[in-house]
Chains A and B, each alone.
Chain A
């Protein structure tokens, strides 16, 4: 099986859709001649032309909303928001419009738009450019929120997204683009709402998504050397959320820790923790623990930023506490 990067996997998924479906087009800031701020659409405008690959003005509200509108009118737009931080300028179109249209019209209308965006911190971009807001969007019924952590999933989930008829937030982590992994040449899809066991274990379940998956895997590896067997679950999609896989795992491990790259206060991890406590209370030997970012805006300075975002050691310390090591 060929090994490719997440960047290449997403590019491939986009090209397939452009090749197969005339209704698919891509628009966003600098997606054309610049090649995309994170180079996902490099070479696309040369290959597909300006009709299908559109550089937009820096006007998030209108180009995201136009994507929603074009979707309502029968097209399959892919809208790229350079980073999820800038999606706040389009939040009204996403939350008040895209997410509501199908319901509010009694099922008459639909808005099958894919909003691709970049999430995550750790690159020294400071408070306004380092947020992971996908959890916010996951609270909104009507939206689906996809957060791939491997090239296999990036492609498989994107294929599923193109078949789905709902508005989708597809959040790519800024530090994962160069992550490599095996991707089969034959066609496959990865369904929404099906978490992946990234690593099997018996002593504790670590739930993570996006950039936190590999951090959790690193922690699990280190713990193994100390005789602790941690199971790592990659959520893949925040909505739909696969609570069953987590519950099954907890049934086996009897302990659970939820890791997210955002503030613990009201983070999506709190929802997962409460669900697990409701569903699997009898399986639990300890309260569900949570790890998230320090409850402050992202600082620029490296030593502070390193403290703000969870890392392997943060997770290990919390697991030590839960297990009582």
Chain B
């Protein structure tokens, strides 16, 4: 599939730019972590960018997005301000959650980015609830619920799949199957075999699988799935096959993965592949791409500077927002 067949130049530029922004945001976050400016657990999305970007390209502003702790990519692609996101990682008062949530808990209610959740599986019931609200109100909103292969084995996944299907709720369960839940490979923990999306069968839910390293393929599959959901047919499970290019978190040296496997997946890098394709198809010139890349760097320079220079929260902030006043 060529890019040209499906996308105009503006879209190509947009998707490439966003994937790159995510990748380099993660690089900056990792640097800041090494310098002690970001603390706690830091889970990078590098390698999986095509999924977030492909999904968000299809969604409407009123749709809901919810995800787990590996959430920077989803947040950025949905349109969160990189400055506010970086400031959150730095624990600053100007962060998306005023420094209270950190990397694993990004939120931006203004764009219906309903949050990153760090308890594996915690987002499933919530997603079901967003979709329930849309059905109840009679809107045509769709909820996208991102999750990892590790979360397949929490009861909440199965409970949410069942309820969403019984009640025909407008939710897209979007599995980012990067083959590992922390250090454990999916085939050691999940009994359903290689085609994980077939978990849907038991719940009489429509499902599909897509190459998560290809933004165009993701965009196409999600377009179909979201159309199906918006037409009132109920939920959909989409499995995106992907790979994380880094350890589970910054604390993980990643010794359990096969080096050959890693090398093979690196050749599927959604960003460098798209770059090559853009050049091959004469969509953008090397010069234009480089201009784009330095623009991304500038955005991130600014984000890091903003995060660095922003103040930490005042002590009083500790007690704010426990209850709705």
Which A residues form the contact surface with B (CB < 8 A)?
A: 29-30, 32-35, 37, 55-62, 85-86, 88-89, 123-129, 294-297, 299-304, 307-308
Say whether B182 faces chain A, with CB atoms less than 8 Å apart: yes
Query: Which of B105, B151, B188 contacts A55 (CB under 8 A)?
Result: B188
The reply to whether A128 and B119 form a contact with Cβ atoms under 8 Å apart is: yes
Which B residues form the contact surface with A (CB < 8 A)?
A: 39-41, 88, 91-92, 95, 97, 99-102, 104-105, 117-122, 150-155, 181-184, 188-190, 256, 312-313, 315, 317-319, 322
A60 to B120, CA, bound (A): 10
**Who on chain B is nearest to A129 by CB?**
B118
The reply to whether B184 and A123 form a contact with Cβ atoms under 8 Å apart is: no
Contacts of A29 in B (CB 8 A): 181-182, 184
Contacts of A56 in B (CB 8 A): 189
Q: List 5 A-B contacts (CB under 8 A).
A: A30-B183, A85-B119, A297-B322, A299-B317, A302-B91
> 8 tightest A-B contacts by CB?
A34-B183, A300-B102, A301-B91, A124-B39, A301-B99, A57-B153, A124-B40, A57-B189
A96 to chain B, nearest CB (A): 15
The reply to whether A299 and B184 form a contact with Cβ atoms under 8 Å apart is: no
The reply to whether A58 and B154 form a contact with Cβ atoms under 8 Å apart is: yes
Q: Is the interface of A mostly helix, strand, loop or mixed?
A: loop
- With known contacts A33-B184, A58-B150, A126-B118, A304–B189 Cβ distance under 8 A: no
Contacts of B41 in A (CB 8 A): 125, 129
The reply to whether A33 and B256 form a contact with Cβ atoms under 8 Å apart is: yes
Query: Which of A55, A61, A307 contacts B184 (CB under 8 A)?
Result: A55
The reply to whether A34 and B99 form a contact with Cβ atoms under 8 Å apart is: no
The reply to whether A126 and B322 form a contact with Cβ atoms under 8 Å apart is: no
- With known contacts A125-B40, A126-B102, A127-B105, A304–B317 Cβ distance under 8 A: yes
A30 to B117, CA, bound (A): 20
**Who on chain A is nearest to B251 by CB?**
A37
B170 to chain A, nearest CB (A): 27
A51 to chain B, nearest CB (A): 15
B238 to chain A, nearest CB (A): 21
Contacts of B182 in A (CB 8 A): 29-30, 34, 37
A53 to chain B, nearest CB (A): 13
**Who on chain A is nearest to B156 by CB?**
A89
A57 to B191, CA, bound (A): 10
Contacts of A128 in B (CB 8 A): 104-105, 117-119, 122
B90 to chain A, nearest CB (A): 8
- With known contacts A37-B182, A128-B119, A300–B256 Cβ distance under 8 A: no
The reply to whether B151 and A58 form a contact with Cβ atoms under 8 Å apart is: yes
A35 to B315, CA, bound (A): 39
Contacts of A127 in B (CB 8 A): 100-101, 105
Query: Which of A34, A57, A295, A301 contacts B322 (CB under 8 A)?
Result: A295
A302 to B40, CA, bound (A): 10
A89 to B153, CA, bound (A): 12
**Who on chain A is nearest to B323 by CB?**
A296
**Who on chain B is nearest to A62 by CB?**
B155
Q: Could you list 12 further interchain pairs (A-B, Cβ under 8 angstroms) beyond the known A58-B150, A296-B318?
A: A30-B182, A30-B183, A58-B151, A59-B154, A89-B121, A123-B40, A125-B40, A127-B100, A128-B118, A129-B40, A299-B313, A303-B91
The reply to whether B318 and A308 form a contact with Cβ atoms under 8 Å apart is: yes
Contacts of A299 in B (CB 8 A): 99-100, 313, 317-318
- With known contacts A30-B182, A33-B184, A59-B153, A302–B119 Cβ distance under 8 A: no
Contacts of A35 in B (CB 8 A): 183
The reply to whether B318 and A55 form a contact with Cβ atoms under 8 Å apart is: no
The reply to whether B183 and A303 form a contact with Cβ atoms under 8 Å apart is: no
